[in-house]
Structure 1
Amino acid sequence: MIPRRKFLGTAGLAFLGLQRYAQSAPSSRVIEPHGPLIPDPDKILDLPKGFSYRIISKRGDRMTDGFKVPGKHDGMAAFPGPDGKVVLVRNHELRLKMTGEGPFANNFQYPKELDLDLSHDPGKGGKRPYIGGTTNVVFDPKTGEVITEFLSLTGTDTNCAGGAMPWGTWITCEETENLTQNSRALNHGWCFEVKATAEPGLQKAIPIKALGRFRHEAVALDPDTGILYLTEDRGDGLLYRFIPDKRNDFHSGKLQALTIEDQPKADIRNYNPADPGPKEGDSMKVGWIDLEDTHAPKDDLRYRGFEAGATKFARGEGIHHTPEGIFLCCTDGGPTRRGQLFQLKPSGSADKADTLTLFLQPEKNDLLTNGDNLCPAPWGDLVICEDLIDPSFGEHTHVRCVTPEGKIHTLARNARDKSEFAGSCFSPDGKWLFVNLQHHGLTFAITGPWQG
């Protein structure tokens, strides 16, 4: 097992005060390094004392390009922009029927000025197009204001999460397995790459078909090896990795699925208390199985992978590379269905097994419930967005933090209801945390005394 005290650690920004607090805290995992949350008089977002938020984007508002801010905000990443600005690339998890939340005045038909060749699936002649996609938001960290906001990708379906690439792009993932529908010529369930540009304009949607066709959730790049890791949001999904033929180019290469050594067809969801899998803290040696027919016209990639020996995960969602490995949330894993947090440690060698550790499996008193999107914080914690899947789990969702020692504390609470948080990410200088409240169509910029 990899010691928790060696967890994340962003270079030069170790949050030593929080680590000392966690080490001296009682045996309970629950800590309050920033003190309790203060109720928001506007009943939108509760934060600790000294923290504040701004709503920087709202569903339905008019953007710079004249289109409306689409709804269903989801995965997101922050990139350095020109002149000290920050460029956010944000997903919109919109399905074909969600016409009331799309970016156009008439979401049953594209505007005449929109170039149909830029859309992945414009329908027939621009009628009944898919309205999922991404928007780019240019934020000024000095003033806390949005400078520019525009549609950057369209014609895709159910854009859930994704992953930031170090060369300044965002890979957005379709969380769907839709085959051709309504006499359409195109399938969905792909990944697309979007530039984190500050210049308004719609980008051409090009599916990265080598990454497979399944219900994609998120991706994380290992910058040391150039290998891309991918999650699948299914109750019986797999964990994938893609080895490109050419570094930083994902249009050709090999797609594989994780398997536990000496345990082919393992099930580590831990759904059944009578037949438990790994315990919290357990580490497993893992390898990878090559996959065939990865475009999966029968939506059976996970079934075929499992039969070949791959490991079954419980709704793999957020995934992120850190200096201490790759962390991923499985939203409803564990006997109480409150989720799991895994740590994958690549060996860096084809001749040596990788290591998978069940880092955290929260129970009722551990606060964290149904972790979804996640990101590393500049001081070394993991920031995790909640997406409550059971009405009995609570009346409000939260943004939680997991410390290097496995302690849990709360950064924010949805003061309205249990709409999920999504898309947490920090500005390059670490002073602003951006996060979405999905069903309300809000993007927040939060700032405060992060480091004590």
Structure 2
Amino acid sequence: MRRRELLRAGLAGAGAAALSGVLWQRAFAATALPGDSPYGALRPPDTNGVALPDGFTSRIVARSGQPVGGTGYTWHRAPDGGACFADGSGWIYVSNSEIPVGGGASAVRFAADGSVVSAYRILARTRVNCAGGATPWQTWLSCEEVSHGRVFETDPWGRRPAPARLAMGRFKHEAAACDPERRAVYLTEDEEDGCLYRFLPETWGDLERGRLQVLCAPPGTTSGPVTWQDVPSRDGAGVPTRRQVPAALRFDGGEGCWYESGVCYFTTKGDDRVWAYDAAASALGLAYDAAAGGTLSGVDSITGAPRNADLFVAEDGGNMEINVITADGTVGPFLRLPGQDRSEITGPAFNPAGDRLYFSSQRGYSGARSGSGGITYEVTGPFRA
């Protein structure tokens, strides 16, 4: 049963009580709790310093400040948000650079056998490019995590300019996820009193014009129905976007964002939560809450497995793990990076076939705030169907 079906099952069981919020006490069959990972226990770290389950192997794709193998292209510092794009029989992995000057984004192109073909810049002269999101029309939305930050729409192939999509608002952007059914782009905000936004383009596939809205609900809401209201001044001039609509629901440090089958999942680092917004029902719930007894901490980036209903959630700190949340409500570690406690795991993304997972350790073993020690990894193995 896929995640959305579980949510719908909760709705059917709740009946008339659904609108009171009882539904969302049943989301994910229950808010995910610690259990055995479907991949089994982690082995001791391999030669690349990655602790993985049986059957999985790792390799280092790139290191900050060093040429990407065989390309001559120097990999950026502080690698952050990432995504994969199909490229014929191969694929492309794009990665942001979260540095204050000259951030931008780069890409690595892979052949069908996983060998590196090329690496190159796709965005330059921007600031603190943290996370972002892929679009259905094969572009990468690279988001600036600064006050009055912008969203840049980049070309993973690096052939076209990367325009700023100012209609998507000027705020401390974090991540983005596209909902092709409702033709919306969800946007998280990394503020202690941040909001969840959605952008409704006038024309789907064209992000130059459209409406910016903010999710609204009574203060402290964690489950039940929600609404959306237009943001009056998307450029945040004078009054920040998050403070323009009094009814806006506040989230403690919005981070990763992932859309699948009618549900937008997003994370908040201040309270270690994974939220589930059911777009069809316009209702909110919790898929994971550390306060309910979970061991996943430093909740940050999030992605979904192409082959099944699993969510993969990366930690910023914690014990440097990527955890898997299954549709039956279990959360457990998939991998760990011992000895990199001053770093964070960023940019998890699967290749189109779903048999390779890419991610970065933003500051690596050095923990240098400059991101000079960043490492980008690939994990290959029997990801479950």
Give the TM-score range, shorter chain. 0.7 to 0.9
- Provide closer, same or farther for how the CA distance between residues 296 and 35 of structure 1 changes in structure 2, counting only shifts above 3 A: same
- Which of 331, 351, 375 is the matching residue for 1:427? 351
- Provide closer, same or farther for how the CA distance between residues 373 and 41 of structure 1 changes in structure 2, counting only shifts above 3 A: closer
Instruction: Provide, for residues 33-82 of structure 1, a one-character-per-residue CA deviation record: whole Å limited to 9, x for no partner.
Output: 22211112536211112110010111112258855211111110001113
Aligned partner letter, 2:269: T
| Deviation of 1:366 (Å) | 2.2
Counterpart-to-counterpart distance in 1, 2:90 and 2:383: 20
| Deviation of 1:204 (Å) | 2.6
- Provide closer, same or farther for how the CA distance between residues 364 and 412 of structure 1 changes in structure 2, counting only shifts above 3 A: farther
Aligned position for 1:103 = none
| Deviation of 1:246 (Å) | 1.3
- Provide closer, same or farther for how the CA distance between residues 41 and 403 of structure 1 changes in structure 2, counting only shifts above 3 A: closer
Contact 2:48 2:59 in 1 (8 A): no
Asked if 1:284 corresponds to 2:200, the answer is no
Asked if 1:206 corresponds to 2:163, the answer is yes
Contact 2:82 2:347 in 1 (8 A): yes
Counterpart-to-counterpart distance in 1, 2:110 and 2:6: 33
Instruction: Provide, for residues 353-388 of structure 1, a one-character-per-residue CA deviation record: whole Å limited to 9, x for no partner.
Output: 611112221248522112111111122110001113
Instruction: Provide, for residues 145-193 of structure 1, a one-character-per-residue CA deviation record: whole Å limited to 9, x for no partner.
Output: 211001111011000001111111110100001xxxxxxxxxx510001
Counterpart-to-counterpart distance in 1, 2:125 and 2:146: 14
- Which of 202, 213, 220 is the matching residue for 1:245? 202
Structure 1: runs of 5 or more not aligned: 9-22, 97-130, 178-187, 269-277, 334-338, 348-352, 389-393
- Provide closer, same or farther for how the CA distance between residues 299 and 134 of structure 1 changes in structure 2, counting only shifts above 3 A: farther
Aligned position for 1:192 = 152
Counterpart-to-counterpart distance in 1, 2:360 and 2:229: 36
Aligned position for 1:85 = 90
Which range moved further: 32-41 or 63-72? 63-72
Structure 2: runs of 5 or more not aligned: 9-27, 365-373
Counterpart-to-counterpart distance in 1, 2:126 and 2:59: 29
Aligned position for 1:16 = none
SS in 1 for 2:188: strand
Asked if 1:450 corresponds to 2:383, the answer is yes
- Provide closer, same or farther for how the CA distance between residues 86 and 427 of structure 1 changes in structure 2, counting only shifts above 3 A: same
| Deviation of 1:251 (Å) | 1.0
Asked if 1:163 corresponds to 2:133, the answer is yes
Aligned partner letter, 1:323: S
Contact 1:330 1:371 in 2 (8 A): yes
Aligned partner letter, 1:54: R
Instruction: Provide, for residues 392-446 of structure 1, a one-character-per-residue CA deviation record: whole Å limited to 9, x for no partner.
Output: xx5x310000011220111110122221111111111111011111112111110
Aligned position for 1:6 = 6
SS in 1 for 2:242: helix
Aligned position for 2:240 = 300
Aligned position for 2:270 = 332
Aligned position for 2:312 = 383
Aligned length: 350
Aligned partner letter, 1:295: D
| Deviation of 1:344 (Å) | 0.6
Counterpart-to-counterpart distance in 2, 1:324 and 1:221: 10
Contact 1:71 1:94 in 2 (8 A): yes
Aligned position for 2:24 = none
SS in 2 for 1:156: coil
| Deviation of 1:324 (Å) | 4.5
Rg larger in 1 or in 2? 1
Counterpart-to-counterpart distance in 1, 2:209 and 2:242: 20
Indicate the RMSD between aligned Cα atoms, in angstroms. 2.3
Contact 2:33 2:288 in 1 (8 A): no
Counterpart-to-counterpart distance in 1, 2:183 and 2:302: 21
Counterpart-to-counterpart distance in 1, 2:180 and 2:5: 23
Instruction: Provide, for residues 116-155 of structure 1, a one-character-per-residue CA deviation record: whole Å limited to 9, x for no partner.
Output: xxxxxxxxxxxxxxx110101102341x321100111101
Runs of 4+ in 1 over 6 A off after TM superposition: 2-5
- Which of 8, 22, 38 is the matching residue for 1:33? 38
Aligned partner letter, 2:241: L
Aligned partner letter, 2:362: Q
Counterpart-to-counterpart distance in 2, 1:205 and 1:380: 32
- Provide closer, same or farther for how the CA distance between residues 194 and 52 of structure 1 changes in structure 2, counting only shifts above 3 A: same
Asked if 1:267 corresponds to 2:196, the answer is no
| Deviation of 1:311 (Å) | 0.6
- Provide closer, same or farther for how the CA distance between residues 365 and 205 of structure 1 changes in structure 2, counting only shifts above 3 A: same
- Provide closer, same or farther for how the CA distance between residues 45 and 6 of structure 1 changes in structure 2, counting only shifts above 3 A: same
The alignment's TM-score, normalised by the length of structure 2, stands at 0.85
Counterpart-to-counterpart distance in 2, 1:295 and 1:28: 40
Counterpart-to-counterpart distance in 2, 1:409 and 1:313: 24
Counterpart-to-counterpart distance in 1, 2:45 and 2:262: 36
Asked if 1:412 corresponds to 2:369, the answer is no
SS in 1 for 2:264: strand
The alignment's TM-score, normalised by the length of structure 1, stands at 0.73
